[in-house]
Structure 1
């Protein structure tokens, strides 16, 4: 295709005047020449020149999304390679300039015409929300607390920093017998710095119990999911009690996912060394490995980790890697504080990534592109069906 022709088609597409035939011509060309830098550069340039839609303007979002869908022919499948989707279609077809870059593709890398869109209500994304319970039972809502010193216990001061992080400062020995608990609700996340300098990020529906000061060992108790960056201390191992297992570390970065509603507990080691102890079994992880404990067989299995998947939540993203739709919906339940019900039996798996900073309607509209499911929202309930 002459360069002038495809530039003209790109401009027409972005101005919503592209015909069905021209759209298919563009998709076919992207498929045949996924590495064409001139095309990709033009697509990005033209898109950036368009007026930006923001998540704060849902009506314009809905109009732009509906325009995109109605441009696609109703009875044809356009097969494009996975490589092309990642390189170009994510920019042209699914970058709706709301902070979402989502490329949800089928097992055979085909884009399927979605079913009729359901009118969505909306639920905003989660944010920094947490409740801190002090040793004397006092509770502090951290999302509404002002910056500065929040409390002093056993010679240890607890402060909220400008970035919202909670920090502990003090070395009083009697403080090791006093415990605090940070509880993260659904639609929440939070981070803290322990007295030894270790940094911890907590995901939604999680909690961490820890002493105000550490003794000969550094021991904490986790439920839910957290990412740890442990300060090195060769004389005092750091121990995480989680779901009937113990994780022993020194200076290490790792993620633990141990929600009660999930069938597996997953520990993913980013760097350092980590030992998983579970019911008499001891497993040593190397960086880039993941240990999985399955409740059905009570065994530990170790395999190479998908670090992008394991750390996606910390990086404010959902990451689906052949993920069962029910597992994916549980992630949405925790982050958006909604209840998900299934009207039909769905045996579909999802692949792709989407920002956690957008409202739930943005995520669900993109999931609708699978062509296998549709969604509706009534209040705080999401209904899923065929």
Structure 2
């Protein structure tokens, strides 16, 4: 990770492609996250401790305004120093002189979009925003057994060479599709299974399913439309949970920073296994598992709320405030801070995900919650 990308991240000046690369690096390890926090704290400390009088004196030695120019010239130069430091508000005070305030208008926080990074079996990373529709992304296998393409809608597809021979070596080729903060992406696996990947998520899968089972690994959230194959079960692994299906539609919510893994079934049936416990879900049911409990909890839910993200909507069904704000953090790349107890606040309703954050917050404010926006930090008041 180039140091300049870290500084651009701190100042919120990354391009969407740079944001994707940064997020992959940031989520790769705790060591990377700690390093970023250290740089961020050091950078902020440097800004907080800067001596504006010394900065003005340094510039004043190099610039001598003409006598017919008024005092505003001096403050305009000083104000420019503050703006170059990337701050929003600065006050400049000189003895017996008027205070000048420079305020940067809050910027709209835009929604996420179609962004993803494909990591090939050889470690090469491809930023999918750089790939044109209908392009061949790559060919994999010793004899180019699999061709990876992008269709006209930007969906990744895998085409198996009909003349290719399956081998143990080629069976071990795995790709990983990842989405950054504010990114979603769709993929069609080699067996025809459709996967809709939500933001800050990743799925690891073989380029072709040669074994007795079709196994993929998920971190984050994804909606699956599994191609039917009675002879070859489809299995989704998420942490300590395993889901087995033959062909059905379901959603898995399994973020590492959330204690509960939720599996919601829309049609067909799935078998959920966790800590030697097994449960069969029926359409309209959701299983909840946690490392803190051995038992698999099953309940009836609003499935439309569970998969609203796939359809471009936020839909809240008696959702806790902190659950709602976690969705906004991932989609808008914001940080949320709380002032006071909000544990009893719940939401019903929703809005579209293509709205700027300010419009979404207006909807939430209908529940008597107040928000203050400071850069990309949202402060919540009950």
TM bin, normalised by shorter chain, reads 0.5 to 0.7
Gaps of 5+ in 1: 1-118
Counterparts of 1:298 and 1:383, CA distance in 2: 36
Counterparts of 1:288 and 1:324, CA distance in 2: 21
Partner deviation per Cα, 1:136-177 (whole Å, 9 max, x = no partner): 001000122122101000110001111010000105424321
SS in 1 for 2:341: coil
- Is the CA contact (8 Å cut-off) linking 1:132 and 1:183 kept in structure 2? yes
- Is the CA contact (8 Å cut-off) linking 2:109 and 2:358 kept in structure 1? yes
Deviation at 1:305, TM superposition (A): 2.6
Partner deviation per Cα, 1:216-249 (whole Å, 9 max, x = no partner): 2100000000000000111110010112111000
Match of 1:126 in 2: 112
Counterparts of 1:319 and 1:294, CA distance in 2: 24
Deviation at 1:120, TM superposition (A): 5.9
Deviates more, 1:341-350 or 1:220-229: 341-350
- Is the CA contact (8 Å cut-off) linking 2:220 and 2:256 kept in structure 1? yes
Pick the structure with greater CA Rg: 2
After TM superposition, the score normalised by the length of structure 1 is 0.67
- Pair 1:152 & 2:175 matched: no
Counterparts of 1:213 and 1:150, CA distance in 2: 16
> What stretches of structure 1 move > 4 A for 4+ residues in a row?
none
Match of 2:153 in 1: 163
- Is the CA contact (8 Å cut-off) linking 1:122 and 1:377 kept in structure 2? no
SS in 1 for 2:129: coil
Counterparts of 2:376 and 2:137, CA distance in 1: 33
Match of 1:270 in 2: 266
Gaps of 5+ in 2: 1-104
- Pair 1:183 & 2:167 matched: no
Relative contact order (alpha carbons < 8 A, sep ≥ 6): 1 or 2 greater? 1
Deviation at 1:291, TM superposition (A): 1.0
Match of 2:204 in 1: 209
After TM superposition, the score normalised by the length of structure 2 is 0.68
Match of 1:198 in 2: 193
Q: Which residues of 2 match residues 203-352 of structure 1 at below 5 A?
A: 203-215=198-210, 216-346=212-342, 347-352=344-349
Deviation at 1:379, TM superposition (A): 2.0
Match of 1:355 in 2: 352
- Is the CA contact (8 Å cut-off) linking 1:120 and 1:376 kept in structure 2? no
Rate the CA distance shift 1:364–1:286 in 2: closer, same or farther, 3 A.
Answer: same
Counterparts of 1:143 and 1:337, CA distance in 2: 18
- Is the CA contact (8 Å cut-off) linking 1:121 and 1:377 kept in structure 2? no
- What RMSD in Å do the two structures reach over aligned CA positions? 1.4
Partner deviation per Cα, 1:303-358 (whole Å, 9 max, x = no partner): 22311111111011111111111111001001111111112222311111111110
Counterparts of 1:287 and 1:368, CA distance in 2: 34
Counterparts of 2:215 and 2:350, CA distance in 1: 34
Figure out how many residues of one structure are paired with residues of the other and give that number: 267
